[in-house]
Amino acid sequence: MITTSETHSTTIAEVENRSGVSWPAIFAGAAGAAALSLILVLLGFGLGFSAVSPWPGDGMSAKSLGISTIVWLALTQIIASGLGGYLAGRLRVKWASVQGDEVYFRDTAHGFLAWAVATLVTATLVVGSVSSIVGGGVQAGAQVAAGAAGGITSAASAAASTTDSDPYGYFVDSLFRGDSTVAVNEDATQGVVTRIMTRSLRSGGQLKAEDRLYLAQLVSQRTNLTPAQAEQRVDEVFAQARQAIDDAKRVARETADAASKVAAVSALWMFIALLCGAFFASLAATYGGRRRDAVMPVDDYINARVR
C-alpha cells in the first residue's frame, strides 16, 4: 500500500527533475511579441511615408524623420518585448517547490528567451515586409517623377539625354564659341576633342603638350582666334572640366561619409533599442510570473470562499 508520504516524495522528485524552461510559454510570448512588433513597424513606416514629401521644402525634415524613427523603434521594442515577456511569465507552469530567488531567475530567463526568439522571428519577417513596402514607395516616387518629367518638351529631353551620355559635351562646345564660323566638320572635330579630353582627364588630369597644341590649332581654325588666344581658351576650358570632376569626387566622398555616419548612428541606436527590449521583456516576465503564482487553484479558491 502506497502511503501519503511516499506519494508526496514522488511528486517532489518529479518536480525537481522537471526542466526549468517552459518552452510553450516562451514560444507563446515570442509569437505575441513578434506579431506586435511587425504591426508597430508597419504602422511606423506608414506614418513615416505620410510625413515625408518628394518635393523640396515640403514634409518632415531628414533630421526630424531620423529622430522620430529612433524613438518609434525604441517604443516598439519596449511595448512588444514587454508584452512577450509578460505572456512568457504568466503562461509558464507553477514551480511550487522552488525558492523565490530561483523563481525570479527563471522568470527573467523566460522573458529574455521570449525576447530572443521574437527578435529573430521579427528580423526575418520585417526584412521581407519592409523590402516590399520600400520598393512600393520607391516605385510610387518614380512614377511621380516620371509624371513631372512628362511635361518637358521632347527637344529638351533629347538635349538632356545627349548631355548625360557625353559629360564633357558642354566643355567641348565652349571651345568652339566664336564670332565667326569657318567650314569645318563639327562632328568630327568635336569627336576628336572629346576623346583627347577624356583620355587626359582619366590619365591624371594633365594635358600633354602635343594634345594641347593640336587642340589650340583646332580651336583657332574654328573660332578664328590667334594661336595664343586659342591655347589660353584650351587651358581655361580644360581647367573647368578638371575642376568639375574634382567637385564631383568631393561631393561623392562627402555623401559617402554622411551615409557611413548615418549607418553608424542607426546601428548604435538600434543596439540600444534592442537592449531596452531585452530589459523590459525580462522585467515584464517577472511581473507575469508573480501574477501566475498568485493564482489559486479552483478547489483552494472555493474552500477559501467557504471558510
Side chain identity at residue 132, one-letter code: S
Residue pLDDT, tens place only, 132-163? 554 554 454 445 444 444 443 343 344 344 44
What is the per-residue pLDDT for 139?
Answer: 53
pLDDT-derived band at 33 (thresholds 50, 70, 90) equals: very high
What is the DSSP code string of 106-168? HHHHHHHHHHHHHHHHHHHHHHHHHHHHHHHHHHHHHHHHHHHHTTS-HHHHHHHHHHHH-TT
pLDDT of 62 higher than 80: no
- Rounded Cα distance between 252 and 258, Å, is 10
**Would you say residue 42 has pLDDT above 50?**
yes
Which residues in 235-260 are b (16+ Cβ under 10 Å) and which e?
eebbeebbeeeeeeeeeeeeeeeeee
Rounded distance between C-alpha atoms, residue 3 and residue 266, angstroms:
65
Give the number of other CB atoms < 10 A from CB of residue 214.
15
Per the structure block, which three cell numbers stand in for 289? Answer: 510570473
